Amino acid sequence: MAHSSVRGEGPRSRAPHSADRGGEHSRYEARGEDSTPAPRGRRRSGGGGRHGGGPQIPRRGRRILRWFAIVLAVLILGTAGAGYLYYEHLNSNIKQDDLNLGDTKIAEPTPNAAGQTPLNILLIGSDARDSKENQKLGGAKDTFGSTPLADVQMLLHLSADRSNMSVISMPRDTLVKIPKCTDPEDDKVYPASTRLTMTNQSLGRGGPGCSVATWQELTGIHINHFMKIDFAGVVSMADAIGGVPVCVDANIYSRDSEGHGSGLKMKKGTHPVKGEQALQWLRTRYGFEDGSDIGRAKAQHMYMNSMVRVLRENATLSNPNKLRSLAEKATEAITVDPGLDTVKKLYDLSNELRKVPPKRITMTTMPYQYVGARVVPKPGDAEKLFRLVREDIALDGKSAKSPAKEKVSKDPAAADDEIGIVVQNGTRTSTLGPVSGRAGAVSGLLVGKGFTKATADHSAQLAEDKTVVRYPSAELEGDAQQVAKALGIPLRSVERSTDVSGVTLVVGADWREGTVYQAEKEDDKTPTSADALNGANDKACMHVDPNFTWKS
């Protein structure tokens, strides 16, 4: 069955909602001021045609098929495996979309001494109701065919030396600035969000490439690939795997009096989940921890780690018919960028991923803080986690390499007296008020050093743990670094941000007094707020909210 390259079967209208779709992916929660995405339903196919019936597979072919099935199941959840299947019809199943729909291009990391560079892959779980199967699994008839949301987003980082892997989850209700994205299929332009917008809306602004652009803008991390999967794909592959052990510390039933919840019902202890129950586990929010998206991310991490261990420890996937079915379902369920649009490319990637043992896999959640019912990246900790990934430093604390040297911009700086600088006071902390006049004092210091266009912004009421220099676009990076050097601020504290319109120095709580900045020694420990979980930890167990338990 070939896939059409045109957009879906018709326009997708938005219906008003007043209730949660099955409880776990609420669209009325997800939509904000800037959520006006157009209908979307592209299915771009790779090359090749499908062969009907299928001959008996020789023994070596079965072995190859088994590995292929494993890698697809694991890659989609951001773990490790390997595989390769030489049947062209599988290539025609794989859908593709453009990698990056934004304007910002982040340069690839500098290769290490062996000529290797890290790999960064954005894994996207779509809540699309674009088929009867997906609609049945996701519930809510009134959302059938509507614009999908990227309700699961995980950045998988494979180290340059292939010794370790790090995963960062971003809660779906994280508020971010989504950049301008242009859909190449119809040249529709989605303007940059004018207000903080939930990150899961990025998928509806032209496709996965807009989610990639959003991550790159936020983190400064170059993303090499993306992989997207829908509900039906999770279920079909979980069935073929045969079950993944998960644990709860009490009986759980994820359903409240208003019908919110995934429907997951499970007794206390460790149990294998597969099929629709596996999907329920991955979607559960009501009943885990505090009922937030943070608890759901933790449950997903446990599932992924457990899945890696299962696939490495047993060889139950030996039935050729089951393997053939898994391969078909997996390739039909995924959408990838052009760099992964064939089985051969997936196989090559899987060979790299399988080099990492579970004990060197670290799952984390982006450090966050609450803003009302939503979250934003936690100042200091979130940027530190992003920096560790940018510099290819293992999150398990076992990096064998030294941190990367500070990267000096290739963009030449303007003359000191031509650089416009806004200085803001960010010395306020949770326990201390801002230091009065600090922005004016430091702007005067800059003027004395020859930066005559430095001015103080007395209206800003900020709280920054560390002093930082921000700039909005690549052509001002050299200017920002020049300002940092003049004050003794390390280049790691110079960052690109769409929140500023020019070079902006925010005097942080680490420089409340004096004329000489003393930079704290930077450590490379993963922030405790990232809630790291090691891939070899088979004792992890989800805490159940007492309001969602039941007596057996």
**CA-to-CA distance for 267 and 285, rounded, in angstroms?**
17
178, 150 contact by CB (below 8 A): no
**CA-to-CA distance for 69 and 343, rounded, in angstroms?**
11
**CA-to-CA distance for 393 and 238, rounded, in angstroms?**
32
Residue type, 369: Q
Q: State the average pLDDT over residues 396-401.
A: 78
Per-residue pLDDT band for 304 (boundaries 50, 70, 90) equals confident
Per-residue pLDDT band for 39 (boundaries 50, 70, 90) equals very low
**CA-to-CA distance for 473 and 450, rounded, in angstroms?**
23
| Model pLDDT, residue 232 | 64
Q: Sign of the CA dihedral 184, 186, 187, 189? A: negative
| Model pLDDT, residue 59 | 52
DSSP string covering 520-550: PPPP-PPPGGG--EETT-----BPBPGGG--
Domains of the chain: 61-390 (3.40.630.190), 416-512 (3.30.70.2390)
**CA-to-CA distance for 504 and 422, rounded, in angstroms?**
5
64, 57 contact by CB (below 8 A): no
Using DSSP bridges, classify how beta strands 265-266 and 95-96 pair: parallel, antiparallel or unpaired.
unpaired
Residue 296's nearest CA partner among 409, 152, 143, 176 is 152
| Model pLDDT, residue 63 | 47
Q: Sign of the CA dihedral 451, 457, 460, 461? A: positive
**CA-to-CA distance for 70 and 81, rounded, in angstroms?**
6
Per the listing, tokens 């969602």 go with 548
pLDDT of residue 323 exceeding 70, the answer is no
Per-residue pLDDT band for 321 (boundaries 50, 70, 90) equals low
Q: How far is Cα of residue 278 from the mean position of the Cα atoms in its chain?
A: 21
DSSP string covering 287-329: TBTTSSHHHHHHHHHHHHHHHHHHHHH------HHHHHHHHHH
Per the listing, tokens 């790090």 go with 166
Instruction: At 396, list the tokens.
Output: 């398990």
Instruction: At 192, list the tokens.
Output: 């940059």
| Model pLDDT, residue 134 | 43
Q: State the average pLDDT over residues 515-520.
A: 89
Strand partners, 44: 96
pLDDT in tens, 411-445: 899 999 999 999 999 998 878 889 999 999 999 99
Helix (H) or strand (E) holding 237: helix 231-241
The mean predicted confidence, pLDDT, of the chain is: 80
* Percent of the chain residues past pLDDT 70, beyond the cut: 75
Residue type, 43: R
pLDDT in tens, 170-211: 998 899 999 999 998 899 999 999 999 999 999 999 999 999
| Model pLDDT, residue 448 | 96
pLDDT of residue 36 exceeding 80, the answer is no
Q: Sign of the CA dihedral 474, 479, 483, 485? A: positive
353, 294 contact by CB (below 8 A): no
Torsion of CA 506, 509, 515, 519, to 10 degrees: -90
